[in-house]
Structures are given as structure tokens and as C-alpha cells.
Amino acid sequence: MIPKYSEERIQQCCLLSELYELIGFHCKSTFFKREAPMQRAAPGIPEPGWKACYRLLLQTLPGYILSLDLQDFSKGVGTKTLLQYN
């Protein structure tokens, strides 16, 4: 069971993410998309919803220009591209 405060914070993060996406602030939107699952798995939550965290985190990948599609690696998208900058 997620404490009421955490559930409210998750809802706030999801709402802020949607609002920022609507006005074209994609990076800010992605930040709040990532913040929601972090609240779901925060210390002190007895039963974190790991499946929900995973689904929410998957939604953040496009905002960070990351992909799980192997075909994208040859196009220079994903971790291959990130490693080239290091």
C-alpha cells in the first residue's frame, strides 16, 4: 500500500508531465515522468509497485532520446550514442 502523500505526489508528477508536454517543454515533462515512479519506489514504502515503476520509466525513454529497439542502435539513437560522447 502506497501512503496517501506518495500517491498524491505521483498524481502531481503525472499531471505536471502532461502539462509540460502540452506546452512543448519535453525535457521538463520527462523529468516529471521519471519522478512519478521514483515516488512509487521511495524508501519507506512497504510494497513498491515495481511493475508500475517499470511501465512509467519506459515512458521516459523517448524524452531522453533513448530506445530499446535494436534497429535504433544503428541509427545512432540510444546508449550507443551516449557512449560515443564519453
| Per-residue pLDDT tens over the stretch 10-54 | 889 889 999 999 999 988 998 898 888 887 777 777 777 788 888
Residues 3 and 86: their CA atoms lie apart, in Å, by 40
pLDDT band at 83 (very low <50, low <70, confident <90, very high): low
Instruction: Report the alpha-carbon angle 47-49-51, nearest 5.
Output: 145
Measured in residues, the chain has a length of 86
Domains held by the chain: number: 1
pTM for the model stands at 0.63
Residue type, 51: K
Domain span holding position 75: 4-84
